[in-house]
Each structure stands twice: as C-alpha cells, then as structure tokens.
Structure 1
Amino acid sequence: MFTLAPETKEDLWEVEALYDLCFAPGRTALSSYRLRDGVEPVRGLCLVARNQDGSIAGAIRYWPVLVGRHRTLLLGPVAVHPTHQGEGLGALLIHSSLDEAAAQGWTRALLVGDYPYYSRFGFEHLDGVEMPPPTNPDRILGRALILDGWHGIRGQVTRAD
C-alpha cells in the first residue's frame, strides 16, 4: 500500500537519491534537464509515493515549458524504487498526476520516453514538436488533457521562465 502526496521541499534530497538510483549517472546532461534548470517545478503535480515505513518508493515531477508560445507540461522524471517496480506504482503516479493536471486546467503534457510504455497512458508521437538536441524525435510524445489539446501546437520546446 502506498500513500501519494505532493512533493515538498523537505523531500528534495530523498527524491534526488531515488532518481540517482534509477537513472544513469549522466541523467542531468539530457536536453530535457536544460529546460528544467533554474525553473520551479509545478509543485501541485509533483508527487511522491511513500510505502508503509514512510520511505519514498516513487516520484514524479512536472515542469512548465513552452511549445512555440503555448504553455505545456513537461512530465519527468518519473521513477520507482527497484524494490517496488512491477507493482503498478509508476502507473498510479502517472494517472494520478495527469488527472490532477487536467483538473488544474492544463491542456497538454509532453515527455521524452518510450512509446510502448507511455502509449498505455494516452501518449502519442508528436509531429512538429522539436526538443533541444540531441533528442531522438521518435521519443517526443504528448497527451492532450482536453479535447484537441495538441491541435495546431507546433514548434520548438523552450524554457518557461
């Protein structure tokens, strides 16, 4: 059993340790991190999942970005501690946070990831949306949070300062 709660500033180092454990050492060199650097995450959508002993078993974060001139959510990273992988915790974090994003009025979400995994959450390949290099265009995925949330949205993904 897991408890979901908004990430707090006190969770920062425990969440960062989870990301370090789950991702390659060079994760912060990825192009998506340049979009996050110095930008506050969307606090109400960044969630932690705590297990019964109170430790963080999973986490998800969102960042505001611009696609062209349109405010968009950048999902990521999402991570689940290796001892809890395969238990549906990643899906719980993704579904819960996307539902909350829609409730808060966000119209679209973007991520860089594996289509076979994220397609089950409604993410699709995006044409005409360009992440900073060296991002593989086949990994740029989006999900509309309202009807036609991606309709007509094209352009470079840039920081939302």
Structure 2
Amino acid sequence: MHYTIRQETETDYPETERIVKQAFADETYSDQTEHVLVHKIRQTEAFVPELSFVAFNETNEIVGQVLLSKITIGAFHTPSLALAPVSVLPAYQGQGIGSKLIDTSLQKAAELGYSSVIVLGHPDYYPRFGFAPASKWEITAPFAVEDEAFMAVELIQGGLTNTQGVVQYSVPFDQ
C-alpha cells in the first residue's frame, strides 16, 4: 500500500477527529473519547501544529494521525512532549502506517529542539521506537498505571538527565 504523511492542517481537523473516533471505537482500553481530547488539545498552548501529522492513502483519504503536545515533568517543569493519540483506521492497521507516523513525529520533534517524549501505551509496541519505562528516569504518571506501560524516550542523548518527578499533562487530559 502506498501512503503519504504530511503535517495536519486546520481543514483536516473534522476528518482527523472522525478517524480518531473510528480508530478507538472498539478498543477495550479506551473510553472512546480520544477524538474529543484531540479537539481540546488543539485549543490550548500545549498544541504544536508542527507535531501533528496525518497519513493519506492513494485516493487522498486520511487513514491515520499522530499528535505530540507539550507537557512538563517534575517540580522544575522540565519541558517534554506527550504522544497521544496515534490513530489508524482499523482497515489500515498492521501496514506500518502508525509506525511511520510515530517515526515522523519523533524526528520532527527532535528537529524542533525537544529532548523527550512520554507515552502511555502498549509495552510490546513502543520500545521499537526507543521508548523504555519512564521509571528508568524516576518519572511517574499522575495516575495509577502499570510501570511498563508508562514510557519515555530521549530524542537527544541525555535528554532526560536530571529530569524526574510526576508528568503534568495539559488540561484537556484531565477533563
């Protein structure tokens, strides 16, 4: 399958939110409100338009998306990013689209000078992108979660050195 990835634009927002809703519709560990989270993040200072990407199929339909947004870590409010969500329509899953979206977003975040990314996700999936349990850096979630599912990655060598504490997500994550 051929697909392309580009930065999301405002005209993509309604379609992207529909894709997110469809992608999570049957997920067991979802409250099926990820599309609302995406909408709310875009309305905050945590939103970084340059770190929001969409994937298109050969007929120019959006089939996936990824969003990185600003967060902070610990008492010193160390800047970082949250990867949430990454969505691919069920009919297109397992074809490498999600991986390419994640790779693209992490590469762009590094180019923009960000030093780390946090994700709450499947411990068998995210390590292929360099993610490891955030506890390795003494970084914790602001909610109860299994250690191996709450992960971080350094985008630059030492990007999480001397960073520790609780992750503070933007307001939409708490709503």
Q: What band does the TM-score fall into relative to the shorter chain? A: 0.7 to 0.9
Find the counterpart in structure 1 of residue 66 from structure 2: 60
Q: CA distance change for structure 1 residues 160 and 86 in 2, over 3 Å: closer, same or farther?
A: closer
Equivalent pair of 1:36/1:159 in contact (CA under 8 Å): no
Specify every segment of 5 or more residues in structure 1 that has no aligned partner in the other structure, as ranges.
Answer: none
**Which of structure 1's runs of 4+ aligned residues deviate more than 4 A?**
35-38
The amino acid across from 1:66 in the alignment is T
C-alpha RMSD of matched pairs (Å): 2.3
Output aligned runs, 1:22-101, within 5 Å: 22-23=23-24, 24=27, 26-28=31-33, 36=41, 38-39=43-44, 40-68=46-74, 69-101=77-109
Stretch of structure 1 that moved more, 18-27 or 52-61: 18-27
Equivalent pair of 2:119/2:150 in contact (CA under 8 Å): yes
How many residue pairs end up in the alignment?
158
138, 141, 147: which one pairs with 2:151? 141
1:17-53 deviation digits (Å, cap 9, x = unpaired): 1111111462438xx98x9485242110110011111
The amino acid across from 2:145 in the alignment is T
Distance 1:101 1:152 in 2: 20
Distance 1:104 1:71 in 2: 13
The amino acid across from 2:48 in the alignment is V
Find the counterpart in structure 2 of residue 107 from structure 1: 115
The amino acid across from 1:3 in the alignment is T
Distance 1:9 1:134 in 2: 34
Percent of matched pairs sharing the same residue: 29
Deviation at 1:160, TM superposition (A): 5.3
Deviation at 1:159, TM superposition (A): 3.8
Specify every segment of 5 or more residues in structure 2 that has no aligned partner in the other structure, as ranges.
Answer: none
Equivalent pair of 1:4/1:49 in contact (CA under 8 Å): yes
